[in-house]
C-alpha cells in the first residue's frame, strides 16, 4: 500500500479533526482505539492528519506505559529493565509514535509518555522516576492550547487523564505506593530500582464526569472517520475534576463492588467487607471462566450454552 492509497482517508481525517476543534498550535494528548476508526493504516493516517492540522508549532502525545511488578522483585521481573526502547503496553498508537524519527519519550519507568513536535521535548524532559505519574498532563493543562482527544471506546475505556492529575493535586493517598516497582536504565547506563511513589488506579468510572464536562463547555463531541470522539480542553476538564472530587472523593469509582483498585486501595475509603468480598469472589470466578473459555477451540465455544459465554 502506497501513500496514494491512504491520502483520501488522511484528507477526511483532517476535515473531521478540524470540525471537532483541533487547531494549528494545539498540544494534544491522544487516547485512541485505532480499530474504531475503520480506515486503512490507522496509526499512520491519523498521526499524519493530526500533524497536518496542528502544524510545526503544535505537538502530539500518547501514554507509553510499561509493566511494573510486586516488590521485592522475583523471577522474570528481576531481569526486566525499562529503557527508551521498551515497547509500550498502551496500544498500537503509542508504539507507532515511539518509532517515529524525532519522537521523544519521558524517563518515567512505568508511566512514560511519548511525544512528537518541538514542544514535546520541553513537556517531557523532566518527567522521570521522581515525578507524579501524569505530570505531563498537568503541564499541558497549564497551557491554553493543551487538549486531549478520545477516539472510540468512550465508555469501555473512558475519561480524561486530568482526573488522575486531580487525584494527585488533592493528595489522595494510595495503599499500593511502595509495593510495586521495576528496574530501569539510568542516563549513565547503570540500572536503578524504581519504587512506585504515586498511584492512579482504575479509570472505568471516569465516564461519570462527562455530563459535568458538557455543562462546563469543557468538551466538544463528534466523529472522526467511523469513531465517536471527544475533545477536551485540559485546563477546563481539570477544573471540573477538582471541583467534583473536592466534594466527593469517591465520584470516580467504577460500578464494580469487587474492584480492588477503587474499593480497597485508596486511603480515604474501605468498602465494607460484607459487600466487597462476595463481589470480589464473583469477579475472580468470572475472570477464571473467561480465561478458560478463551483457551477452548472455537468449535467447542460455539457449542456451549449461551449462559456459559455471556455475562
Distance CA 26, CA 19 (A): 14
How sure is the predictor about 285, in pLDDT bands with cuts at 50, 70 and 90?
A: confident
The residue ranges of DSSP E strands in the chain, in sequence order, are 27-32, 59-63, 69-70, 81-82, 104-105, 113-116, 146-151, 180-185, 191-195, 219-224, 227-233
What are the tens digits of pLDDT across the range 42-88?
999 999 999 999 999 999 999 999 999 999 999 999 999 999 999 99
Q: Which of 73, 187, 173 is nearest to 129 (CA)?
A: 187
Q: Is the pLDDT of residue 306 over 70?
A: no
pLDDT band at 307 (very low <50, low <70, confident <90, very high): low
Tell me what the mean pLDDT of segment 132-161 comes to.
95
Write down the pLDDT at residue 296.
75
Lowest average pLDDT, out of 181-190, 228-237, 267-276, goes to: 267-276
For residue 1, the model assigns a pLDDT of 43
HSE-up (13 A, CA, CB side) for residue 87:
3
What is the structure's pLDDT at 2?
Answer: 47
Mean pLDDT score, 199-206: 93
* Residue 10 in grid coordinates: 488522511
Distance CA(193)–CA(182), nearest Å, equals: 6
- 136 pLDDT tier (thresholds 50, 70, 90): very high
Q: Is the pLDDT of residue 179 over 80?
A: yes
How many angstroms separate the most distant Cα atoms in the chain? 61
For 181, the 3-state DSSP assignment is strand
Whole-number Å distance between alpha carbons of 30 and 220: 15
**What would the pLDDT profile of 75-125 be if each residue is shown by its tens digit?**
999 999 999 999 999 999 999 999 999 999 999 999 999 999 999 999 999
List, in sequence order, the alpha helices (H) in 63-173.
92-98, 118-124, 135-141, 162-169
Distance CA 219, CA 230 (A): 6
pLDDT tens sequence across 13-35: 999 999 999 999 999 999 999 99
Tell me what pLDDT residue 18 has. Answer: 98
pLDDT of 284 reads 86
Residues 70 and 279: their CA atoms lie apart, in Å, by 24
User: Is 36 a residue whose pLDDT tops 50?
Assistant: yes
- Mean of the pLDDT values across residues 269-292? 86
- To 5 degrees, how large is the angle CA 51–CA 206–CA 195? 80
Q: What is the mean pLDDT of residues 167-174?
A: 96
What is the per-residue pLDDT across 137-148, written as a single tens digit (0 to 9) for each? 999 999 999 999
| Cβ count within 10 A of residue 257 | 18
Q: Classify strands 180-185 and 69-70 as parallel, antiparallel or unpaired.
A: antiparallel
Confidence at residue 30, expressed as pLDDT on a 0 to 100 scale: 98
Amino acid at each position: 500500500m502506497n501513500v496514494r492509497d491512504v491520502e483520501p482517508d488522511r484528507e477526511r481525517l483532517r476535515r473531521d479533526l478540524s470540525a471537532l476543534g483541533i487547531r494549528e498550535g494545539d498540544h494534544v494528548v491522544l487516547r485512541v482505539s485505532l480499530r474504531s476508526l475503520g480506515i486503512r493504516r490507522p496509526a499512520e493516517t491519523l498521526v499524519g492528519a493530526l500533524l497536518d492540522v496542528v502544524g510545526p508549532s503544535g505537538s502530539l502525545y500518547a501514554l507509553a506505559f510499561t509493566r511494573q511488578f510486586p516488590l521485592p522483585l522475583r523471577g522474570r521481573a528481576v531481569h526486566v529493565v525499562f529503557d527508551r526502547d521498551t515497547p509500550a503496553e498502551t496500544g498500537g498508537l503509542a508504539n507507532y509514535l515511539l518509532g517515529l524519527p524525532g519522537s521523544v519519550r519521558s524517563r518515567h519507568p512505568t508511566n512514560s509518555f511519548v511525544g512528537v513536535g518541538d514542544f514535546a521535548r520541553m513537556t517531557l524532559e523532566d518527567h522521570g522516576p521522581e515525578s507524579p505519574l501524569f505530570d505531563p498532563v498537568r503541564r499541558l493543562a497549564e497551557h491554553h492550547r493543551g487538549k486531549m482527544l478520545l477516539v472510540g471506546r468512550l465508555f469501555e475505556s473512558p475519561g480524561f487523564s486530568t482526573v488522575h492529575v486531580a487525584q494527585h493535586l488533592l493528595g489522595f493517598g494510595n495503599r499500593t505506593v511502595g509495593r510495586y516497582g521495576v528496574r530501569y536504565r539510568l542516563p549513565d547506563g547503570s540500572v536503578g530500582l524504581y519504587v512506585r511513589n504515586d498511584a492512579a488506579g482504575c479509570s472505568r468510572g471516569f465516564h461519570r464526569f462527562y455530563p459535568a464536562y458538557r455543562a462546563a463547555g469543557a468538551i466538544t463531541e463528534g466523529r472522526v472517520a467511523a469513531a465517536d470522539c471527544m475533545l477536551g480542553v485540559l485546563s477546563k476538564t481539570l477544573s471540573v475534576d477538582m471541583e467534583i472530587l473536592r466534594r466527593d472523593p469517591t465520584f470516580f469509582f467504577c460500578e464494580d463492588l469487587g474492584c480492588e483498585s477503587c474499593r480497597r486501595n485508596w486511603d480515604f475509603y474501605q468498602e465494607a467487607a460484607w459487600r466487597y468480598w462476595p463481589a470480589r469472589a464473583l469477579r475472580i470466578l468470572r475472570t477464571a471462566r473467561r480465561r478458560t473459555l478463551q483457551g477452548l477451540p472455537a468449535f467447542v465455544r460455539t457449542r456451549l450454552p449461551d449462559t456459559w459465554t455471556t455475562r
